[in-house]
Structure 1
Amino acid sequence: MIVVAPSDRRFPRHRRHTLAFLHTIRADSPVHLDAEVDLSALATERAARTDPPSVFVYVLHALGRVLARHPDAAATLTGPAWWPRLVRGSQVDAKVTLDQWIDGERVVVSAVVPDIDVAGREFLRARLARLRDAAPGTLPETAGAALLARLPVPLGRAALALAVRGAGRRRRFGSVAVTSLGHRRVQRFFSSGGTAVTIGLGRVTDRPVARDGRVTIVPVLPLSLTFDHRVLDGAAAADVLDDLVSTLEAPPVPEPGP
């Protein structure tokens, strides 16, 4: 028998923002839905381009349009427990996650991409590339995580709780969260991003699908939707997911060139 000696180490400081975030959203009531998206039309459109945007960009773009049609799904719950309020914003801002390495530690950092309900795909691609390629903590969008890394855990929790009070929650967390593990062999996963709705992307794989009595192979995207039951009921959340699937399965609308 092999005996492994116990060991411990200090909690990585670059993940302190995650601890503070999870402490902040502990009152949320997440419920999970999932669906599969036939990406045949999207695959055809991307194959016709020499440098197409990523699937993530197309999902972000479609999600902005969908939430503009379902504004309650982008609402923010604010106020004390004894007097809660649902606040709708005039725009749809998405919190996206970034997989980064800081001092040898793998860290997930988030940043808010504004106005996804009106932004074009090329703008979204450029914005995501800027966030992805910058050194951790060097942009205003990711400076908050760097600050929480420097604070002791109790102070970090207090600082984040203060920052997300009232309208601050929307500024820090966005009005919807989108995250992806599609670069790994993950079929589907469910995450709560501190927003009324969180969208999760799995890995696109070719699957057999029955069409008109015949079986054909199509690219399929596993898509999850986690909703805060305090903000939405299941039927409304299902409508959002169904609309998002339909939007992604339709041929992408061409955008004007530069």
Structure 2
Amino acid sequence: MKPSEEKPAIIALPKARRHTYYFLNYADEFKSVYLDTEIDMSEVKRRRDKLKLSGHRISYIVFLIEAISRVIRLYPEANSSVKHGMIPQMAVYHRIAAKFTLDKTMDGRRFVMSGIIPDSDQMPLEGMQKMIEYYRDTEADEITEFANVRKLQSMPLWLGRWIYRLAMGNLSRRAKLQGTFTITSLGHRPIQAFYPIISNTLCFGVGAIEDKPVVMAGQIAIRPMMKLSLAFDHRAIDGALAADILTEVKKVLEFASESDEASTQGEEVTPVGAST
């Protein structure tokens, strides 16, 4: 038999892929719409370099979580989640929790896992950085917070899928499992735009930071630009509100206050359209 005529190897879905499989099946329920904008990251780079000089190494994703969390405080109706069913329900959460994604390895296979930063609108940059480093640097089978995921991956597919949907169907539990917004990045690769699949009302996709020519005050300048996308659940909010949120995140990142070097607890930003 010629190699081209050989039958493919049919195997059970690897355990490392099962959590993603359950997530994607459940994500069909969400009705996503996508927006994007370009952000001048000069101010973030300045803050990052200044903190580095004082001994604090902060990743870009932490600055993004800080900015998004601050903005969501201004738009509490977006800190919500919708449950599909005969009688649809909606939860509006009083606390903000950031879900971030990262690559891990299990049984020699790469897979995507997520960590949760509770009260991300109140946690200092250094605290968020330590949490991300914990998830990043610890082996997947040693992370306590992944214990339930490991159990889910070990179950028969039909049972794991049922349990996943049951857990996500509880709106209170959903926030603990998925956060109240998600940020996911491919910025470590030369990917300019990333439009993620959502599991809550707001999900931000982060592209690479690249030096690009931009026009400023009629002059061409080279700036570190980054594409930030927003996928939002149209069942929960409308496009106008989503556009306001993305615009406000851009504003916070590009015009961060000098007094906000190490904490999200500084003065509030002003919502889009409000008088200053």
Normalising TM by the smaller chain, what interval? over 0.9
Query: Which residue, out of 126, 131, 135, partners 1:131?
Result: 135
Which residues of structure 1 form unaligned runs of 5+?
none
CA–CA distance in structure 2, aligned partners of residues 20 and 57 of structure 1: 27
Matches within 5 A, 1:236-255: 236-252=241-257, 253-255=260-262
The alpha-carbon deviation at position 220 of structure 1 amounts to 0.6
CA–CA distance in structure 1, aligned partners of residues 147 and 33 of structure 2: 30
Partner residue in 2 for 1:229: 234
2:30·2:198 contact (CA, 8 Å) conserved in 1?
A: no
Partner residue in 2 for 1:91: 95
Query: Which residue, out of 10, 18, 21, partners 2:12?
Result: 10
The alpha-carbon deviation at position 138 of structure 1 amounts to 2.5
TM-score using structure 2 length? 0.88
Q: Which amino acid aligns with 1:140?
A: T
Aligned to 1:90, what secondary structure does the other structure show? coil
CA–CA distance in structure 2, aligned partners of residues 23 and 70 of structure 1: 29
The alpha-carbon deviation at position 127 of structure 1 amounts to 0.7
Matches within 5 A, 1:76-155: 76-78=81-83, 81-155=85-159
Partner residue in 2 for 1:162: 166
The alpha-carbon deviation at position 10 of structure 1 amounts to 2.5
Aligned to 1:236, what secondary structure does the other structure show? helix
- How high is the sequence identity, in percent, across the aligned residues? 32
The alpha-carbon deviation at position 4 of structure 1 amounts to 6.7
CA–CA distance in structure 2, aligned partners of residues 193 and 113 of structure 1: 18
TM-score using structure 1 length? 0.93
Q: Which amino acid aligns with 2:103?
A: D
Aligned to 2:142, what secondary structure does the other structure show? coil
Q: Which amino acid aligns with 2:34?
A: H
Q: Which amino acid aligns with 1:75?
A: S
The alpha-carbon deviation at position 47 of structure 1 amounts to 2.4
Which residues of structure 2 form unaligned runs of 5+?
264-276
Count of aligned pairs between the two proteins: 255
Query: Which residue, out of 33, 41, 44, partners 1:42?
Result: 44
1:173·1:193 contact (CA, 8 Å) conserved in 2?
A: no
Partner residue in 2 for 1:176: 181
1:200·1:223 contact (CA, 8 Å) conserved in 2?
A: yes
CA–CA distance in structure 2, aligned partners of residues 4 and 184 of structure 1: 36
CA–CA distance in structure 2, aligned partners of residues 218 and 117 of structure 1: 28
Q: Which amino acid aligns with 1:60?
A: I
2:198·2:232 contact (CA, 8 Å) conserved in 1?
A: no
Deviations 1:124-173 (A, max 9, x none): 00111111111104223222321121011110011111212221111111
The alpha-carbon deviation at position 122 of structure 1 amounts to 0.6
